[in-house]
Structure 1
Amino acid sequence: MCGIVGFLRRNPVADASAENAVVGRMAACIRRRGPDHQATFVDPAIGLALGHLRLAIVDLSPSGEQPMRSAGGRFTIVYNGEVYNHMALRRELTAAGLAPEWRGHSDTETLLAGFEAWGIEATLRRAIGMFAFGVWDRAEQALFLGRDRIGEKPLYYGWQGRGGDRTFLFASELDPLTRHPQMTAEVDRHALAAYLRTGYVPAPQSIYHGIAKLQPGTVARIAADRDEVRITPYWRAMDAVAAGKRDPFTGSPTEAADALETLLRDAVGQQMMADVPLGAFLSGGVDSSTIVALMQDMSTRPVQTFTIGFNEARFNEADHAKAVAAHLGTEHTELYVTPAQARDVITQLPGIYSEPFADSSQIPTFLVSQLARKSVTVSLSGDAGDELFAGYTRYDITQKLWHKLSRIPQPMRAAAARLLTTLSPMAWQRIADSAKHIVPPLGRFSNIGDKIHKGAAVLPSRDGDQLYHGLTSYWLDPVSVVRGAGAETTSPYAALDVPAGLSDVERMMAFDLVTYLPDDILTKVDRAAMAVSLETRVPMLDHRIIEFAWRLPLSIKTHCSSPKWPLREVLYRHVARSLIERPKTGFGVPIGEWLRGPLRDWAEHLLDPTRLKAEGYLNAAAIRQVWDHHLSERSNRQYELWSVLMFQAWREAQPSADTPR
């Protein structure tokens, strides 16, 4: 795991030392991604500068250091990630008579040998792993960028400057780009509106004009003599979805679980490759417990596992994790976090996330990463089980809701929505409270007024896609909040090329696979872990597992009305069912309550109407209304407010925030 930076000038300068200084400054601001070694490669004649920060995981010797040149001298690479099957690739190269004389045993060297023997795209199609890289091809006089299939490792890029001074920049995070003199760092208001809707900036956008995220599964080519960025996919998630539907698994549910366990064992075994201490996050839920169970089954000594706990029962899974760890015999470490400790993380978030990010589970994710880093350098994670095996309850809720709503003409639903919102959330809550003794089930629902208003907002949905988009949005109308953003013209799902023939639940899973998973979940984990120089690995994102999961009919994934049935079946071969079967607890913190209490002064500072008006990005009146409603407990608006607060805190932390024009 590492950090990479670089640039390619259209108008090269002769001063190598000056270019070294620039790329060195770019790299230094993400030192946490690679504290073990920092180096640069500069060729002033072509205007190229590459920088690398190393977190040494495999081949700890100088033979694994970067920037690294291929044996034949054609390629020079800066690379972040791990190719888990790289020793198998070495054997393939050797058998074909294409292997160089190996200098060490790093996967970086293997990649370069593959590039020389097979080409870049052909090598990536053979590779199993997570990665982002920049590689200079001396023969083609071109810079190539690449990213892993699903987007575990980040990569930002873009042209900055004008005319002959145009410079192409790239880096693992946004902060290094702002250290380059050509970078304008102008906030993109359309991206800001998209962020307020989702809680993350959706790819390929970034928060800055002119800077994009390289899409997962693609390679970009930038020639030294032109501004064009030519992007070619070598793997597409939607192709995997379509292929799975064309060739469905025809065995029994038990046979599906057998096949899944075989794939998981291979993926977990490969991802346990490391020359440094390795462990795993353990929440006690299905996904992380499955990964840990397989790790322990293949390990000759206790696996190190880590969890954090909260004293608030509704946010705490530590007891469950401890019970699973005891059953499996892992070396378990837990830390109970006080609210004050969790809140202290908030001031660090703008430095951890180089663009606005509003998934509040970022706080416990950072804390568990910090805990793990005290003992290990690599930690495996159970992420992606919900997206691949229909685990989210929102899938079933949305499907059932749309099944009912679709029977009612849209004009009638729109009229009902207007009627429901004539009363405030607080008025609806008072009605529900007064009626609880007559209708006892009403007492089981909290914030019923909020739920009515949120439901009213999505009642007029045109189709199931729009309904799902609305139910998973933070701000339902973000362009009304961002000044100068312009109206949304299409659904973000419209350009995703979803294969035909999917059920409603499968469509939601496909959407999440290419949006929410890489842009929220994987971003959250990568930045939180790299903030403490911890490498994280996600075995369920081995592309062979993704492709197999999409071959499984939904009836197998939800066999016996049990979400993630194949995963559960694998787990129950190692862990007693009674340790797992329980209501799911979210990995979150009580942000809504904190904003009314200990975080109120911090929030007031960032949401001050005079400040918002002066900065010119956000509609101060609209935000103040939401803030007032939240403070008065008329409604719980924590998601909308947290997204605004994370933007404000991020912008305040920028070294040179731009001035709106």
Structure 2
Amino acid sequence: MCGLAGLLRPTPDTGADRLSALARAMGDAMLHRGPDDSGVWADEQTGIALAHRRLSILDLSPLGHQPMASADQRFVVAYNGEIYNFAELREVLVARGHAFRGHSDTEVLLAAAVEWGVEDAIARCNGMFAIALWDRQEQCLWLARDRVGKKPLYYGWAGDTFVFGSELKALWQHPAFDNPVDPDSLALLLRLDYIPAPHAIHADTFKLLPGSLLRMDARTVAVGAKSHDPARDQRRYWDARERMAAAISQPFTGDVLEAENRLDTLLRDSVALRMVADVPVGVFLSGGTDSSIVTALMQAQSRHPVRTFTIGFERSHHDEAHLAREVAEHLHTAHTELYVSGADALAVVPTLPAMFDEPFADASQVPTALVARLARTAVTVALSGDGGDELFYGYKRYDRAIRNWRWQRRIPAPIRNALARSARQHGEASRTGGFAALAAEMGARGIGDVYRQRIARWRDPARAVTGSKLPETFYDQPDPLRGAGTPADAMMLADFATYLPDDLLCKVDRTSMAVSLEARAPLLDWRVAEFAWSLPLEFKRHTSGNKYLLKQVLRRYLPDSMVDRGKRGFGAPVSQWLIADLREWAAALLDENRLREQGYFDAGAVHGLWQQFLGGERKWHTHLWNVLMFQAWQEHWRAQRARVGAGAAG
């Protein structure tokens, strides 16, 4: 696991020393992503520079150093991630005449690009990755991101220079990166608690979508950000919607036992691939279905007790540590459990803006950061159970949305439309339940509109963010699957394409990399995803409970009492924090005069919610948390930019 950064000039007008210095500053801003080694490569003839920070996982020798050039010197790469099938690809490449000096997956990636071309090579990789690869022959830069979006990759323009990196803090290091806050992206934050790709918090700045490639050269850099259209310019080599539709059109035809055997085999292989490392490997264990099945499959394939890690919360209904302990004892893992106090959790809050770089408001970021810190005391790689809910129908909100959608269709259209119009008068009150919440869904065109009401925080965030217009996302489509599959499939696709990469995987990446820990997600192997999509819905949504098939596999390793547990989120008591320990901090950031002077929000509306919350009239803590995360981030961003400006002036 590593961090990458770099820049490309529209004209070769910058000397090698200056290019290298700029790239080095961008890379060094991400020391936490790669404390073991660093490297810079620059070519003043073409105006390109690449920087790399290395966290050594495979081939700990200097032969794994990056940026790395291909054997024929055509390609130079800075790469973040792991290609799990690199050994299989290497065998094929050796048979085709390629020789290797070391045993890193980076060297395999470069040889694959030489053998098959960049796009085909990327499509052959099973892994998690963000890649910046310079083609000396074509004089172009390729950016690539893995299928699911495990690894982040930002890009944009700093003046007339194209800049890119694993985190925004790398882009901030360029003296010309004065890109302001994008109000449309801020509105997305208020709606979703995160900013989905391709959007980013800054204007003229973007995220590469999962499963996508971007090709840049001097000409496209010179055209600039105003002519860049991510929907047009980012190429998909793997599209979740297309792959899901294809899987549904060719469904699995076996019985439940056959499906169970197939899933067990796929998961065993996926877990085994992700256990390969030249450093200690462990697993995050919460005691729920997803982390338990990953742990069980690790232990079944290990000759030694697997290292498992759990965080417990003192005097909190969010505590699940006892569930994880039961699983660990049954599987005989080497279990580490740490109980933390409210003060321990609250101490993480001031570090969040620097940890995430972009405002991010999923409050489970706090316990995730704590368990990552715990795991790093003993291992360098940790597996997680991310993906089970999105692939195997794990959320109760799916059932509620389907129920409401069926109920609404029984009501005549004129009545539904009239109720929907009346709901607009209630504004954010529709978020609190009751008649207003039901009426807000009445104008739904399809399951997508109903589901959006289930997952949205601010129902009309554009009214709260000055000068904003809400961009369309997967959640704004009446049917995200465009006619393929069931309403349940459509909701799982929307979450897989948006919530999973931009919330859950972002959260795990930033919190783990903040402590130089690599996190891997076996359930998100693309082969597992496409198999899950081919399954009939009754193999997931069952009378005995959701995630049926996944739980059937888990029963092979754990007793029923450890399998048949209700779903419990990895949450944080935000409302309690804001009423007590964080009240003074929140009050300062939500001061009405301060909000008005900054000019991002409708100050009266936001401050009014704060007052209602303090008065106990409404539970507005979710609305307030994403505003607070932006406010705290804004202070951090301005301080970082001031530091860069002072350095440039000096």
Q: TM-score, normalised by structure 2?
A: 0.94
1:477-626 → structure 2 map (5 Å cutoff): 477-486=460-469, 492-494=475-477, 498-626=481-609
Q: Is the 2:310–2:324 Cα contact (8 Å) retained in structure 1?
A: yes
Give the superposition deviation at 1:154. Answer: 0.4
SS in structure 2 at match of 1:17: helix
Q: What code does the residue aligned with 2:555 have?
A: Y
Structure 2 residue 356 is the aligned partner of structure 1 residue 353: yes
Looking at structure 2, the residues matched to 292 and 49 of structure 1 have their Cα atoms a distance apart, in angstroms, of 41
**Per-residue Cα deviation, 1:345-384 (whole angstroms, up to 9, x for no partner):** 0000000111110100000010000000000000000010
Aligned length: 633
1:635 CA drift (Å): 1.2
| CA displacement at 1:111 relative to structure 2 | 0.2
Task: Please point out which of 361, 366, 369 is paired with 1:363.
Answer: 366
Contact 2:480–2:491, Cα closer than 8 Å, also in 1: no
Range 406-415 or range 215-224, more displaced: 406-415
Partner of 1:44: 44
- Name the structure 1 match of 2:305: 302
What does residue 287 of structure 1 align with? 290
Equivalence map 1:355-504=2 (5 Å): 355-413=358-416, 450=433, 453-486=436-469, 492-494=475-477, 498-504=481-487
What is the CA-CA distance between 1:496 and the residue it aligns to?
Answer: 8.7
8 Å contact kept, 1:425–1:453: no
Note if 1:178 corresponds to 2:198. Answer: no
Task: Measure the CA separation in 2 of the matches of 1:514 and 1:175.
Answer: 25
Deviation at 1:264, TM superposition (A): 0.3
Is residue 466–residue 491 contact of structure 1 (8 Å, CA) maintained in 2? Answer: no
Question: Residues 494-526 of structure 1: CA distance to partner in whole angstroms, max 9, x if unpaired?
Answer: 399624232111110011111111111111110
**Does structure 1 residue 259 correspond to structure 2 residue 262?**
yes
Q: Which moved more, 1:510-519 or 1:406-415?
A: 406-415
1:472-499 CA deviation, whole Å, 9 max, x = no partner?
A: 0010000110000036678744399624
Q: 1:27, CA displacement in angstroms?
A: 1.3
Q: Is residue 185–residue 658 contact of structure 1 (8 Å, CA) maintained in 2? A: no
Give yes or no for contact 1:193–1:478 (8 Å, CA) kept in 2: yes
Any conservation in 2 of the 1:143–1:224 contact (CA below 8 Å)? no
Q: 1:126 aligns with which of 99, 124, 132?
A: 124
Structure 1: distance between partners of 2:441 and 2:74: 55
Alignment partner of 1:240 is 2:243? yes
How big is the shift at 1:66?
Answer: 0.3
Amino acid of the structure 1 residue aligned with 2:119: E
The answer to whether the Cα contact below 8 Å between 2:188 and 2:470 also exists between their aligned partners in 1 is no
Asked if the contact 1:410–1:462 (Cα under 8 Å) also holds between the matched residues in 2, the reply is: no
Whether the 8 Å CA contact 2:428–2:458 is kept in 1: the answer is no
Cα distance, 1:207 vs structure 2: 0.6
Q: Which residue of 2 aligns with 1:437?
A: none
Closer, same or farther in 2 for the Cα pair 1:419/1:218, shift >3 Å? closer
CA contact (8 A) 1:78 1:135 kept: yes
Aligned to 1:201, the other structure's residue is in SS state coil
TM superposition shift of 1:463: 2.9
**By how many angstroms is 1:459 displaced?**
4.1
Q: TM-score, normalised by structure 1?
A: 0.92
Q: Is the Cα–Cα contact under 8 Å of residues 427 and 460 in structure 2 kept in the other structure?
A: no
Q: 3-state DSSP class of the match of 1:654?
A: helix
Q: Kindly tell me: are residues 311 and 460 of structure 1, through their superposed partners in 2, closer, same or farther at Cα, counting changes over 3 Å?
A: farther
1:71 maps to 2:71:
yes
State the shift of 1:651 in Å. 0.4
Cα RMSD over matched residues?
2.3
SS in 2 for 1:550: helix
Mapped partners of 1:94, 1:491: distance in 2: 42
Cα distance change of structure 1 residues 422 and 22 upon mapping to structure 2, 3 Å threshold: closer
Q: What CA deviation, in whole Å up to 9, does each residue of 1:425-474 have, x standing for no partner?
A: 99x9xxxxxxxxxxxxxxxxxxx965554444334434321111111001
TM-fit CA distance, 1:413: 4.2
Q: Is 2:220 aligned against 1:222? A: no
Distance 2:260 2:56 in 1: 36
Q: Summarize the Cα distance change of 1:496–1:527 in structure 2 as closer, same or farther, 3 Å threshold.
A: farther
Q: Render the CA deviation track for 1:6-38: whole Å, top value 9, x for unaligned.
A: 000113234322222211111121110001111
Give the alignment partner of residue 113 of structure 2, picking from 115, 122, 131. Answer: 115
Q: What is the CA–CA distance in structure 2 between the aligned matches of 1:217 and 1:487, rounded to whole Å?
A: 24
**Change in 2 beyond 3 A, CA 1:630/1:142:** same
Partner of 1:150: 148
Measure the CA separation in 2 of the matches of 1:420 and 1:143.
Answer: 49
Q: Which residue in the other structure is 2:648 paired with?
A: none
SS at match of 1:40: strand
In 1, the alpha carbon distance for the partners of 2:398 and 2:162 equals: 41
Q: Distance in 2 between matches of 1:342 and 1:566?
A: 35
Q: State whether residues 378 and 534 of structure 1, in contact with CA within 8 Å, keep that contact through their aligned partners in structure 2.
A: yes
What's the CA shift string for 1:233-271, capped at 9, x where partnerless? 211111210111111000111111110000000100010
Change (3 A) 1:123 1:418: closer
Q: Distance in 2 between matches of 1:138 and 1:129?
A: 25
Quote the sequence identity (%).
Answer: 47
CA distance in 1, matches of 2:317, 2:255: 37
Residues 79-125 of structure 1: per-residue CA shift (max 9 Å, x gap) = 0000011011010111223x12x111000000000000111111122
| Alpha-carbon offset, residue 562 of structure 1 | 2.1
Q: CA deviation at 1:206?
A: 0.5
Residues in 1 aligned to 2:129 and 2:473: alpha-carbon distance in whole angstroms:
31
> Counterpart of 1:190?
184
1:614 is matched by which residue type in structure 2?
E
Which is worse superposed, 556-565 or 169-178? Answer: 556-565
What secondary structure is seen at the aligned counterpart in 2 of 1:216? Answer: coil
| 1:380-416 alpha-carbon deviations (Å, 9 max, x no partner) | 0001000000111110111011111221235534655
Once residues 420 and 478 of structure 1 are traced to their aligned partners in structure 2, the CA distance between those partners, rounded to angstroms, is 15
Q: Whole-Å Cα distance in 2 between the matches of residues 189 and 425 of structure 1?
A: 19
Which runs of 5 or more structure 2 residues have no equivalent in the other structure?
A: 643-650
Determine the structure 2 residue equivalent to 1:203: 197
| Corresponding residue number in structure 1 for 2:252 | 249
Contact kept, 8 Å, 2:474 with 2:498, in 1: the verdict is no
2:428–2:460 CA contact under 8 A, matched in 1: no
Over 3 Å counting, the alpha-carbon distance change for 1:454 and 1:528 in structure 2 is farther
